[in-house]
Structure 1
């Protein structure tokens, strides 16, 4: 019984240690230059592990490094200062590869 409880605790700790993804719906993305600028801006944050920008889907996704986070206010400020309108921010556990697959499938 003790060992099963310990396994559950370790499983919970392990899943909370994975990197998270912050997905944002952003208006104003119109060209590749927009995507490059956003990516460059977001990669400056030390908590950023990866960035995905989809112009077609108005999606900006930031994968954070394990054990780190970027506050919504910081993300919103960075994108607003760059001239974009952040409509929604959602935290998920989807990887960049999973997001790319979903975007390719048009879901």
Structure 2
């Protein structure tokens, strides 16, 4: 009769979890924004977009006049909500583009 060894099971699980994430992807959204004129504008916009629970990171660029939103793994983008948050922050959202990036 074989005996169950919990330590071995835990070790195998610990080794398997990183392999599950290998090759996984997450959604990324880029939205054009009009009206940003200073670093405080970009900072406020990033904070406002962070209110969406599925947003892992939001970065606003004054130079390119857009926001780059990285979503938490396994979540889907809500473009309407992001554009509303941009509008609520006092800016005008433009065209949105959704893509995927590999999780490192």
The TM-score normalised by the length of structure 2 is 0.70
Q: Which residue does 2:65 correspond to in 1?
A: 58
Distance in structure 2 (CA, Å) of the matches to 1:81 and 1:40 = 12
Structure with the bigger percentage of strand: 2
Paired residues, number: 82
1:1-107, aligned counterparts within 5 Å? 17-94=24-101
Q: Deviation of residue 94 (structure 1)?
A: 4.7
- Cα RMSD after superposing both structures: 2.1
The question of whether the paired residues in 2 share the 8 Å contact of 1:24 and 1:88 is answered with yes
Shift in Å at residue 70 of structure 1? 3.1
Q: Distance in 2 between matches of 1:67 and 1:37?
A: 26
Greater helix fraction, Structure 1 or Structure 2 = 1
CA distance in 1: counterparts of 2:45 and 2:75, whole angstroms: 20
Alpha-carbon shift at residue 83 of structure 1 (Å):
1.3
Runs of 4+ aligned residues of structure 1 deviating over 6 Å after TM superposition are none
Unaligned 5+ segments in structure 2 are: 1-20
Alpha-carbon distance change, 16 to 27 in structure 1, aligned in 2, over 3 angstroms: farther
